[in-house]
Amino acid sequence: MQTANHENLRASLAPNDQIQVAAIFEDKLSAKKTIQQLANSTDVSTDQVAFIDASDTAMSEKLEQESKSIGKNLWHSHLMLGGVGFLVGMLAAFLLVSFGPELTKQNPLFTYIALISPGIFTGLFVAGLVGLRPDRSEIVQAVRHAIRRNNVAVVINLKKTQSASDIASFLHSRSKNVVEAVR
C-alpha cells in the first residue's frame, strides 16, 4: 500500500489513536462498500467508523465525540497560559522596578499594571489560538460541505496500532476528498 502525504502536520506528529480520518463519497452505496472493504482488508473495525449522511441528526456527536473534554482542555489551557502570562508580566515588572530606568523605579504600581495586563492578555490570546484548532475545522467543514451537497461522509477514529497514512491511502483510492485531523 502506498503511503499518503500528510498534508496536516499536526496529524502526522500526533499519536495514531488521536487521529481521525474522513472521506467524502457521492452516494451511500459506494461509502458502505468502502467501509466493508476497509474492514476486510485492514484491522479497522466497524465500531471505529461513523457513517454520516444528510439525514443524520447526530453529525456533531460523530465528529466531536468528547465535547466535555474539549471544554475542559480549553478551560485548563486558558488558566495555565493566563497564569504564565501573569508571571511573565510580574517578572518583567519586577526587573524594571528593581533595575530599570528611573521612570519605572518611581512608579512601581503603574509599571506592574502596565506589564501584567499585556502578559495576561498575551497568555489568554495564545490559549485561544491553541483552542481554535484549524486542523479540526478542516475536517468539520469538509464533512458539513459534503452533507449540504447530499454526499456521504465516512469518519474513522484510529487506534494506536493503526497507520493513519495506510488508512488515508486506502481511502484516497476510493474517494476524491480525504481529510485527516487530530481529535
Query: pLDDT tens digit string along 47-96?
Result: 888 888 888 888 877 777 667 777 888 899 999 999 999 999 999 999 99
Query: Distance of CA 71 to CAs 64, 130, 148, Å?
Result: 11, 13, 27
Running DSSP on this structure, what letter comes out for residue 26? S
Tell me how far apart the 2 most distant CA atoms of the chain are, in Å: 76
pLDDT at 4 over 50: no
Specify the higher pLDDT residue, 70 or 20. Answer: 20
Does the pTM exceed 0.85? Answer: no
Q: Is residue 85 within 8 Å of 122, Cβ to Cβ?
A: yes
Q: What's the CA gap between 50 and 60, in Å, rounded?
A: 11
